[in-house]
Amino acid sequence: MKVKTRTRYAPSPTGFMHVGNLRSAIFEYLLARHDQGDFILRIEDTDQTRKVEGAVDFIYDTCRLCGLDFDEGPRNPGAYGPYTQSERLAIYQKYAHELVEKGHAYYCFCTSDRLDKLRQQADENKVAFQYDGHCKNLSIAEVEEKIKAGIPYVIRQKMPTTGVSVYEDLVYGKISVENRILEDQILLKSDGYPTYNFANVIDDHLMGITHVARGNEYVMSTPKYNLLYEAFGWEKPVYVHLPMVNGADGKKLSKRNGDASFMDLYKEGYLPAAIVNYLAMLGWSPATNDEIFTLDELVEIFDPRRISKAPAVFDLKKLQWFNAHYIKKLPLEALLEITVPHLQAAYDLSQKEENWVKELVSLYQNHISYGKEIASETALFFQDETDWDQECQAFMEEETIPKTLAVFTQYLEQISDWTVENIKQAINDTKEQAGVKGKLLFMPIRIQVSGQMHGPELPNTIHLLGKETVLKRLKSSKN
């Protein structure tokens, strides 16, 4: 019988999710769902100093917005709970002690002073610090005596000193590490909390995780985890280490720099579906050249063997391209939701009719790539004067322009019913009367009324600006 695929998203609750973290969650979700498997949330809060109030809500909110639903997790526990590591301390302690009994781990009573000295020595010798195994060979009697005396201890993994550990990663292929460079790492800290290095193995095994997908910073420590699986006699999972997502500067995204936070993007009017689509393409590509996919379509076509080894770069411009694509397809109500709050924040809309706002937003649907951009794009509707850049100035030198504008002004003045149709008619009449067409007809009008050479449909723009403003701008001279 085929074992059901189970993957997990295992964030530390730091209250921040940059797009790299989210991309891991997406790949883990796709891996599970493609195989009709389970996708699990596990909260890795063993580093209590990093814990942030409300962070778990934040993780749930983000994943819900992105359509990544969990089959099991702290809020919908299944048969493998608890799903929060700080609630599993007794489990880790039991297994750590079992490992000592089996001879694969040992108690270490070294003081921080001693370890600091070792670290200092390593620094001076310019070698990487590695615990020297000082407590590895304590006798049972010595250990018992120290424990009885209340001396704090950690439990360390006993690494083999010879041989090579090899495993096959689905993305990076064969990884081999010489055992002698593996440190006797701490599994259980003196406060009874496990390290990530221990908890991840215990939990992945007990939770029935079949595919461990996580950042590639764990590629080289995975041999240590495999030794733990072997020591317990457990079956190892399939490893899918994911390439890094770097910022445009080539550096790793980080919380400290506030890099590319999902929530910040969301608040600026990026659509979760577009973000998910773009992130799925960061370090993965389908077999075709298509790029636009819904989450369900991604589930259908996802193949982890197509994950690339090369670090991916988070490119805001590319995200904007995806987002613009999704914005074009939005129904008006949804478009209003991601744009109106930004208009309100930037301008006083109290004198504007609701319909005017709707018309403005619709007019810009094909011209913005994220919600907040509506504010800068529509500034010309909220300013008294327009500014011309050099290109506009240069264009307006054209000889025929004063006549064209004079004729157009006359036709506009005659309009009694201010409709888009009548404005189109005035432009057409100007074409006949002034004997100009194409660029020489539209561009002077556009520049004169909007201060820009590009923009949405001209008659609609003029309509929204209103007769009074347009006539005032037509009559004002910039030269």
By CB under 6 A, the residues from 186 to 205 that bind ligand GLU are 200
* Residue of 255, 318, 358, 472 marked active site: 255
User: Does 11 engage in binding with ligand GLU (CB under 6 A)?
Assistant: yes
Residue listed under structure tokens 């360390």:
156
Task: State yes or no: residue 10 binds ligand GLU (CB under 6 A).
Answer: yes
Please answer whether residues 19 and 59 qualify as being in contact, where contact means their C-beta atoms are separated by less than 8 angstroms.
no
Give me the count of residues in the chain.
479
Smallest gap, in angstroms, from Cβ of residue 31 to ligand GLU?
Answer: 12
Q: Which residues pair with 415 in a beta bridge?
A: none
Nearest to ligand GLU of 279, 343 (CB atom): 279
Nearer to ligand GLU, 196 or 418 (CB): 196
Query: Which is closer to ligand GLU, CB of 11 or CB of 247?
Result: 11
Instruction: Tell me how far, at minimum, the Cβ of 168 lies from ligand GLU, in Å.
Output: 18
Contacts of 59 (CB under 8 A, 6+ apart): 11, 13, 17, 41, 43
CA gap 305, 302 in Å, rounded: 9
Nearer Cβ to ligand GLU (10/273): 10
33 interacts with ligand GLU by CB under 6 A: no
Q: CB of residue 30 vs ligand GLU: minimum separation in angstroms?
A: 15
Least distance between ligand GLU and beta carbon 24 (Å): 7
Residue keyed to tokens 């799903």 = 83
Helix (H, G, I), strand (E, B) or coil at 91: helix
Q: Which residues of 296-333 are buried (b: 16+ CB within 10 A; e: fewer)?
A: eebbeebebeebeeeebebebeebbebbbbbbeeeeee
For residue 200, the minimal CB distance to ligand GLU (Å) is 5
Q: Mark whether 255 is an active-site residue.
A: yes
Distances (CA, A) of 98 to 85, 91, 108, 150, 190: 19, 11, 16, 21, 17
Asked whether position 369 contacts ligand GLU by CB under 6 A, the answer is no
CB of 129 to ligand GLU, least distance (A): 22
Give, in order, the Cα–Cα distances in Å from 223 to each of 98, 197, 202, 211, 214. Answer: 20, 11, 15, 16, 15
User: Does 12 participate in binding ligand GLU (rule CB under 6 A)?
Assistant: yes
Structure tokens at 174: 């064969």
**Whether 78 contacts 122, CB under 8 Å:** no
For residue 56 the two structure tokens come to 């778990």
What is the DSSP-derived secondary structure letter of residue 124?
A: H
Phi, psi angles (nearest 5°) of residue 261: -80, 135
Is 157 near ligand GLU (CB under 6 A)?
no
Candidates 8-16, 99-107, 331-339, 360-368; binding stretch for ligand GLU (CB under 6 A): 8-16
Q: In terms of CB distance, is 237 or 371 closer to ligand GLU? A: 237
If the CB atoms of residues 10 and 143 are measured against ligand GLU, the closer one turns out to be 10
Residue type (1 letter), 90: A
Stretch that binds ligand GLU, among 4-12, 54-62, 67-75, 334-342 (CB under 6 A): 4-12
Contact stretch for ligand GLU (CB under 6 A) within 10-18, 266-274, 301-309, 423-431: 10-18
Size of the site for ligand GLU (CB under 6 A): 6
Task: Find the residue with minimal CB distance to ligand GLU.
Answer: 214
The single residue among 23, 211, 214, 342 that binds ligand GLU, judged by CB under 6 A, is 214
Q: Is 44 in the site for ligand GLU (CB under 6 A)?
A: yes
Q: Phi and psi of 435, rounded to 5°? A: 65, 35
Q: Give me the least distance between CB of 218 and ligand GLU, in Å please.
A: 6
Strand partners, 40: 8, 72
Annotated catalytic sites, by residue? 255
Task: Note the residues at the interface with ligand GLU (CB under 6 A).
Answer: 10-12, 44, 200, 214
